[in-house]
Structure 1
Amino acid sequence: MSDNRILFSDKNYRLLMMGQTVSTLGNSVSSFAFFAYTLALTQSPFYAALVSGCVTLAIVVMGIPAGIWADKHRPLPLMLSSTILGGAGICVVVANHFILHAPIPLVLAVAACLVGSATAVFSPAEKAALKTLVSPEHLGQAMAINQTRYSLGTVAGPIFGAFLHSLRPIATFVFDLCTYVFAFCTFKKLQVPDTRADVAENDAQAGYRETLKILRADTVLWAVLWFTPILNFSMSSIFNSAFTQLAGTENGAYVLGVFQTYCGIMGLVGSMAATVLVSRVRGGVGLVATAVGFILSFGGLALVFTTVSCFVFLGLFWLLLPLFNSILSGYFPARIPQRFIGKASAMTTIAAMGFMPAGTWVSGFISERYDPSTVVAATALLFLPATLAFVAHADIRRLSTPTGAGSR
């Protein structure tokens, strides 16, 4: 039986993927709306970037307590709580539109923070649940399927968001609210085994300091811990610059929606390829190949920054990103003991996403005063030496498989 059939033969895994896919679609629609709606009403790239960055900022701020909660409590109640929290954030926007009429940037910033907090709570809880539902040898494949699920949402989300935005901007948020309700109802049917360690043992032995020791002891995880912040800073900075560039063209909202959908399609193709390659290609080969591709993507865009080049070079980036993520995402849970999985997930998420709002805000600030192409060129120059140092790491190049034997 193939890995995919083994995974989807489990009812709980199917329910988890179903809820995640629909929720991702809704989040993709509202993510488009956070940027496009703010930019359309304020005509300020900085305000649009500020609101978009609030989602990531909330993920970073809430990440530390969310990791502790994931190791102390059952994952399912946390997943349900996250859908309620995210739905509350979208309700803020909807209520303001019909009742409160407060300043749009303020309301969207508050809503973005709530949605980001929901993501912060869900992420470590989902990893804890996934490790109990999926055997170690199938974790890499499960993470590759996760990438495909994410790409499916991002393919349909932006273009559907652009369509809803053209009809009535608030419709994008109403749709996302419906997806939160669906995800909640789906997750309610899940049966996730409770494999928590004793709470006293967690308090005494599984603190963040001990978790950091485990991450530092694994040279691959440690390299990922310093490289992913640079990757995500560069990605958020360059993509925000591209969004600003495309939004300023004729029919900007439509072009922006098409671009995000195109990136989602490329990500979907990359995810489908990753589900095949992740179990057949040595992890080190995949990481080096994708990292070199990232350099070509950002470097090419810095040399030629036009509407067409945004599609070409950033499409290449989205094509390669799923394989990079699948290799590392499969390696991570297999190497981390169960009682540390929540805090380790929170630490890696904070490290990876902590610089994303900074990249978005820096891009918005410089783009408003100078030009988006300046941001792209400066970011590419920052990204190049960091990536070369990452691929020069011997343990990265020698990584044999995305998942390794790890303690449970």
Structure 2
Amino acid sequence: MVLRMPVIPRPAASGPLRIRDFRLLLAGAAAGQLGAQVTLVALPLVAVLQLNAPAFQVGLLTAAETAAFLLVGLPAGAWVDRMRKLPLMIRADVVRAVAMASIPLAGVAGVLTMAQLYLVALITGVATVFFDVAHQSYLPQLLPKDQLVSGNGALETIRSTAQVAGPGLGGGLVQLLGAALAIAADAAGYALSALFLWAIRQPEERPRPVPGASLRKDIGEGLRFVFGHRLLRVIAFTTGLGNFFTATLMATQSVFLVRVLGLAPGAVGLVLSASAVGGLAGALCAGRLAARLGQARLIWLSALVTGPFAVLWPLSGRGAGAVLFAIGSGVVFFGAVVYNVAQVSFRQALCPPRLLGRMNATLRFLMWGTLPLGALAGGALADAFGARTALAWCAAGFLAVPLPLLLSPLRRMRDLPATGPDEDTARPDSADAAEAASLG
């Protein structure tokens, strides 16, 4: 029998950065995100420069990276709720490190193919689904509810900082070492992330099995919780729509920047870093903006004000004209990060701990399941009509993203309702009364 020390409640005013285990979680996120951002530049460039893949195959590669959210997104939540979160995240990091390490090894041996890239993308995608669902479900175990916005803001700051440094570093590594060898940085990042997570000492009990539970029932309970809450429904639809067009962008931007604007790999990395600068600014400002404007109001304002800057992507040109692409990305991703901090913190505070994995997985399935579809659409549009036309469709899509929010009760609210999660689970639209009380 293993004796566990009781968990001493942390003072709410201490701040999340004073908690050792949260700092380790941040360090792991920094290592993993930096490597992943290098790959964001390097992996498409492996296909474009080293394997000379057409635009549709590059889109298919992006789709393969995110297909796991459609394939295993729903059952992943039920499985995560039955397991301890921390060991699961460590195993996912190890799998991703090994899979990514196979690319530079194959590149050195001269046997790298698109088939291997697709396989690695699928494997790392599945591991990422489990990691992300467990990660969002684990954070409320480290932090009290009133520090979730600060904690998520800190994680978004780390992610956005990695997005600033990663693309530039990735472009430089591709130019210096070649695209395949640059992927080694991602493998190292996942390995470091696993080591930081392994050092966390917060006790975590294995979830108790529920009598009569089954995978089908567990998935159904997660679906009922999400679809039974009006605000979660509209957030899921809006985010899924935004992710569809984000994937269209991701599938076509490397082809556009290299083959249309004629940028070298190092310049591609610098241009893509602009989106991360905007994201970093959004992460730093999200908490203060939520306090000043209200969390509910911030969700729809962030999408409405920044989305129109997407039109700068298809308007950008060679030379100095590439700056337009960078400005558009910076502003759009500023809004995206502010939006994410607000809505993720709301979801975590709303949901009971026993449902966190299923709630996050259901929302990931709905929100991120559109990513492979958007990537395939982007690749097909770029192949048929050119990358600039694909980006024009993408920009038009970003203009439509705020519409579901503007047609929802969120438009008339300042703050999000602190409804009882168990009541929402039991009664599908029990949020309505709380929403009405919060209008203003």
> Same fold by TM (over 0.5)?
yes
TM-superposition CA deviations, 1:90-109 (whole Å, max 9, x none): 1221332234x434211111
Q: Distance in 1 between matches of 2:34 and 2:303?
A: 27
Equivalent residue, structure 2, for 1:95: 105
Q: Which amino acid aligns with 2:220?
A: R
Is 1:117 the equivalent of 2:117?
no
RMSD between aligned residues? 2.4
Q: Which residue of 2 aligns with 1:211?
A: 222
Q: How does 1:7-156 map to 2 (within 5 A)?
A: 7-43=16-52, 44-99=54-109, 101-156=110-165
5 Å-filtered alignment, 1:232-381, equals 232-248=243-259, 249-301=261-313, 304-306=315-317, 307-381=322-396
Alignment of 1:171-250 (within 5 A): 171-195=181-205, 197-201=207-211, 203=213, 207-248=218-259, 249-250=261-262
1:85 is displaced (CA, Å) by 1.1
- Partner of 2:291, secondary structure, is coil
Question: How many angstroms apart in 2 are the aligned matches of 1:152 and 1:404?
Answer: 31
Task: Please say if residues 287 and 396 of structure 1, whose CA atoms lie closer than 8 Å, have aligned partners that are also in contact.
Answer: no
Residue type of the partner of 1:110? Answer: L
Q: Within 1, Cα distance between the matches of 2:77 and 2:39? A: 25
Mean CA deviation greater in 314-323 or 237-246? 237-246
Q: Using the alignment, how far apart are the partners of 2:223 and 2:45 within structure 1?
A: 39
Q: Provide the rounded CA distance (Å) in 2 between the counterparts of 1:300 and 1:98.
A: 39
TM-score, scaled to structure 2: 0.85
1:285/1:7 CA distance change after superposition, 3 Å: same
Amino acid at match of 1:233: F
Cα distance in structure 1, aligned partners of 2:135 and 2:395: 33
The two structures have a TM-score, normalised by structure 1, of 0.92
Distance change >3 Å, CA 72–CA 144, structure 1 → 2: same
Distance in 1 between the 2:78 and 2:358 partners?
6
Whole-angstrom CA distance in 2 between matches of 1:25 and 1:16: 14
Deviation of residue 200 (structure 1)?
A: 2.1
2-structure distance, mates of 1:119, 1:356 = 14
The answer as to whether partners of 1:21 and 1:149 remain within 8 angstroms in 2 is: yes
**Deviation of 1:406 (Å):** 4.6
Task: Give the whole-Å Cα distance in 2 for the aligned partners of 1:177 and 1:389.
Answer: 39
Structure 2 counterpart of 1:158? 167
- Distance in 1, matches of 2:384 and 2:19, equals 53
The counterpart of 2:407, out of the listed 392, 405, 408, is 392
The secondary structure found in structure 2 opposite 1:17 is: helix
Query: Does the residue aligned with 1:203 lie in a helix, a strand or coil?
Result: coil
Q: What is the rounded CA distance, in whole Å, between the counterparts of 1:333 and 1:238 in structure 2? A: 29
Counterpart residue identity of residue 118, structure 1: A
- The alpha carbon displacement at 1:216 in A equals 2.1
Cα 1:167–1:47 shift into 2, 3 Å: same
Is the Cα contact below 8 Å between 1:247 and 1:255 reproduced in 2?
Answer: no
Q: CA deviation at 1:386?
A: 5.0
- Asked if 2 retains the 8 angstrom alpha-carbon contact of 1:60 and 1:120, the reply is no
Q: Residues 357 and 322 of structure 1: is their aligned pair in 2 closer, same or farther, counting only changes over 3 Å?
A: same
Distance change in 2, residues 1:40/1:157 (3 Å): same
Q: Which contiguous aligned blocks of 4+ residues in structure 1 show a shift greater than 4 angstroms?
A: 1-5, 299-302, 405-408
| Residue deviations 1:107-150 (CA, integer Å, cap 9, x gap) | 11111112212211111111221111111111122111111111
Alpha-carbon distance change, 202 to 183 in structure 1, aligned in 2, over 3 angstroms: farther
- Summarize the Cα distance change of 1:3–1:232 in structure 2 as closer, same or farther, 3 Å threshold: farther
Structure 2 unaligned segments of length 5 or more: list them.
1-9, 423-440
Give, in angstroms, the shift of residue 284 of structure 1.
2.5
Corresponding residue pairs, total: 405
Instruction: Measure, in 1, the Cα distance between the counterparts of 2:398 and 2:276.
Output: 23
Question: Contact conserved, 1:132 with 1:193, CA < 8 A, in 2?
Answer: no
Q: Tell me if structure 2 keeps the 8 A contact 1:244–1:372.
A: yes
Q: How far apart in 2 are the matches of 1:166 and 1:380?
A: 30
Q: In terms of Rg, which structure is larger?
A: 2
Task: Give the distance between the partners of 1:272 and 1:166, measured in 2 at CA.
Answer: 31
Q: Offset at 1:301?
A: 4.2
Q: Larger deviation: 314-323 or 290-299?
A: 290-299
The one-letter code matched in structure 1 to 2:149 is G
Residue pair 1:91, 1:177 contacting (<8 A) in 2 also: yes
Change (3 A) 1:379 1:3: farther
